[in-house]
């Protein structure tokens, strides 16, 4: 009997834990479960910091106006410990127990895939800036919106630029990981290349998290493509470059990566070997991107660095756009009713420090990538609709570098 009492007690204890309701004054609460610890914490921190910075900036300028009344924004942020099951549970908690008004997203496509189901189940809109996979937006969900550009368009600006460079690229090696995001990239890129009349001479998929590229690199050595278009994750990109150097495997003119190039980690890890690498980013902290609350993207980047001690990248800017989307939509809707706000989000159309925010019918925004290159250890913007700076092209082979 005693044992059973103990058991019942333990059950009651575990059911009664976690989360007390938040006080609701004249505030609008945005809820999110983000990776603050665990394997994805390194990128998760961008979301925590950017959400908070955006909310502070908006509150400092008077908050959100709903029918003449002014509301402050508040953030209810939980740590999902990079655990998908915990994340789902926390989003349910945010909606049902903490009674947040709206949801912001986690980082990572797989998390967004699971967590968006909670938004859909409870019909509370979620705007996420951490998952780009097309799968999130292909399910016909009505309550999920995303501010990362679609994966299959990642190489559009790069392919466009290749058409304008001399010497001309005619053959391409396409190397992509086998996960959801990179398969979409490869699929989209194949179409883009076909349209541009470029020939794919190497088309290889590699297993996610595998560090060995020697067989793909020797294939590249023997077929001698003019360019390599590579897609995967940052640690794999580092491995690819290191192994290409040690095998002296070179494309004739050009190589580019979907990830890694914009981050400072990539440049510190590779040192001089990072030079010449092309990449892409949907966002650069430029003064041309004006913003209602921060002034412009450059001012935002400075403020962010001052406050948190590291530079923001597109994850952070995308997170700010998520918060601003809610402000615009709530003010347009004139109510906090989730269904009305959801319809207002579908109609928002504004410029901010991240981009021109306007959601397509499936809920994802369209955003051209800016081609970038590492030149002498520095990140240089090269191409977006037209050439911005002079690229170092063609890329010299490994054995001819100083």
Pair 194, 217: CB distance under 8 Å:
no
Residue 364 DSSP symbol: B
Token pair in block for residue 12: 């009651």
Number of residues in contact with other proteins under rule CB under 8 A: 43
Closest distance to other proteins from the beta carbon of 305 (Å)? 24
Residue 13 as a binder of other proteins (CB under 8 A): the answer is: yes
| CA nearest neighbour of 348 among 319, 367, 327, 334 | 327
Query: Contact region for other proteins (CB under 8 A) — 68-76, 79-87, 235-243, 308-316?
Result: 79-87
Query: Contact region for other proteins (CB under 8 A) — 16-24, 56-64, 234-242, 394-402?
Result: 16-24
C-alpha 47/C-alpha 129 separation (Å) is: 8
Pair 202, 220: CB distance under 8 Å:
yes
Closest distance to other proteins from the beta carbon of 2 (Å)? 8
Phi, psi of 347 (to 5 degrees): -105, -5
C-alpha 109/C-alpha 124 separation (Å) is: 19
Query: Contact region for other proteins (CB under 8 A) — 135-143, 247-255, 262-270, 391-399?
Result: 135-143
- For other proteins, the binding residue among 56, 114, 160, 203 (CB under 8 A) is 114
- For other proteins, the binding residue among 26, 61, 65, 97 (CB under 8 A) is 97
Query: Contact region for other proteins (CB under 8 A) — 90-98, 166-174, 226-234, 352-360?
Result: 90-98
Query: Contact region for other proteins (CB under 8 A) — 82-90, 191-199, 238-246, 356-364?
Result: 82-90
Closest distance to other proteins from the beta carbon of 160 (Å)? 27
Residue 89 as a binder of other proteins (CB under 8 A): the answer is: yes
- For other proteins, the binding residue among 29, 43, 101, 110 (CB under 8 A) is 110
The 203-232 contact track toward other proteins, x by CB under 8 A, reads ----xx------------------------
Closest distance to other proteins from the beta carbon of 291 (Å)? 32
Residue 120 as a binder of other proteins (CB under 8 A): the answer is: yes
Long-range contacts of 375-379 (CB under 8 A, 24+ apart): 375/275, 375/276, 376/275, 377/267, 377/272, 377/274, 377/275, 379/261, 379/262, 379/267
Residue 179 as a binder of other proteins (CB under 8 A): the answer is: yes
| CA nearest neighbour of 398 among 272, 214, 286 | 272
Residues 6+ apart with CB under 8 A from 94: 31, 32, 33, 76, 78, 100, 103
Residue 17 as a binder of other proteins (CB under 8 A): the answer is: yes
Residue 22 as a binder of other proteins (CB under 8 A): the answer is: no
Instruction: Transcribe 211-234 into DSSP letters.
Output: ---HHHHHHHHHH--SEEEEES-H
Residue 95 as a binder of other proteins (CB under 8 A): the answer is: yes
Residue 18 as a binder of other proteins (CB under 8 A): the answer is: yes
C-alpha 335/C-alpha 342 separation (Å) is: 11
Residue 79 as a binder of other proteins (CB under 8 A): the answer is: yes
Instruction: Transcribe 97-152 into DSSP letters.
Output: IS--SEEE--SSHHHHHHHHHHHHHHT--EEESS---GGGGSS--SSEEE-SPPGG
Integer angstrom CA distances of residue 52 from 57, 64, 65, 126, 248: 9, 15, 19, 17, 46
Pair 186, 176: CB distance under 8 Å:
yes
Query: Contact region for other proteins (CB under 8 A) — 78-86, 150-158, 260-268, 289-297?
Result: 78-86
Query: Contact region for other proteins (CB under 8 A) — 14-22, 27-35, 291-299, 340-348?
Result: 14-22
Residue 361 as a binder of other proteins (CB under 8 A): the answer is: no
Q: Which residues bind other proteins (CB under 8 A)?
A: 1-4, 7-8, 10-11, 13-15, 17-19, 36-37, 79, 81, 84-86, 88-89, 92-93, 95-97, 110, 113-114, 117, 120-121, 135, 139, 141, 178-180, 183, 207-208
């Amino acid at each position: 009997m005693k044992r059973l009492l103990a058991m019942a007690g333990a059950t009651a204890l575990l059911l009664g834990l976690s989360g007390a309701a938040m006080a609701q004054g004249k505030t609008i609460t945005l809820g999110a479960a983000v990776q603050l610890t665990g394997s994805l914490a390194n990128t998760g921190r961008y979301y925590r910091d950017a959400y908070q910075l955006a909310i502070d900036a908006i509150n400092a300028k008077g908050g959100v106006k709903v029918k003449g009344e002014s509301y402050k924004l508040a953030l209810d942020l939980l740590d999902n410990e990079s655990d998908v099951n915990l994340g789902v549970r926390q989003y349910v908690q945010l909606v049902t127990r903490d009674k947040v008004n709206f949801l912001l997203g986690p980082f990572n496509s797989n998390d967004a895939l699971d967590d968006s189901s909670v938004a859909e189940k409870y019909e509370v809109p979620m705007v996420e800036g951490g998952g780009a996979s097309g799968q999130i937006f292909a399910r016909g969900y009505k309550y999920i919106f995303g501010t990362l550009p679609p994966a299959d368009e990642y190489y559009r600006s790069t392919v466009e630029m290749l058409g304008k460079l001399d010497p001309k690229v005619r053959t391409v090696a396409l190397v992509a990981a086998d996960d959801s995001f990179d398969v979409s990239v490869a699929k989209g890129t194949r179409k883009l290349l076909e349209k541009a009349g470029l020939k794919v001479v190497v088309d290889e998929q590699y297993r996610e998290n595998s560090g060995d590229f020697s067989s793909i690199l020797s294939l590249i050595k023997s077929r001698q493509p003019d360019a390599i278009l590579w897609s995967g994750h940052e640690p794999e990109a580092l491995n690819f470059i290191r192994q290409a150097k040690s095998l002296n495997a070179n494309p004739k003119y050009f190589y580019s990566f979907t990830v890694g190039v914009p981050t400072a980690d990539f440049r510190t890890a590779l040192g001089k070997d990072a030079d010449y690498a092309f990449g892409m980013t949907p966002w650069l902290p430029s003064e041309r991107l004006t913003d209602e609350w921060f002034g412009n993207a450059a001012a935002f980047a400075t403020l962010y660095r001052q406050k948190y001690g590291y530079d923001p990248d597109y994850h952070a800017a995308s997170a700010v756009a998520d918060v601003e989307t809610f402000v615009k939509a709530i003010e347009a809707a004139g109510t906090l009713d989730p269904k009305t706000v959801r319809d207002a989000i579908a109609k928002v159309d504004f410029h901010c420090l991240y981009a021109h925010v306007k959601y397509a019918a499936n809920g994802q925004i369209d955003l051209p990538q800016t081609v970038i290159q590492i030149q002498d250890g520095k990140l240089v913007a090269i191409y977006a609709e037209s050439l911005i700076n002079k690229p170092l092209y063609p890329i010299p082979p490994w054995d001819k570098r100083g």
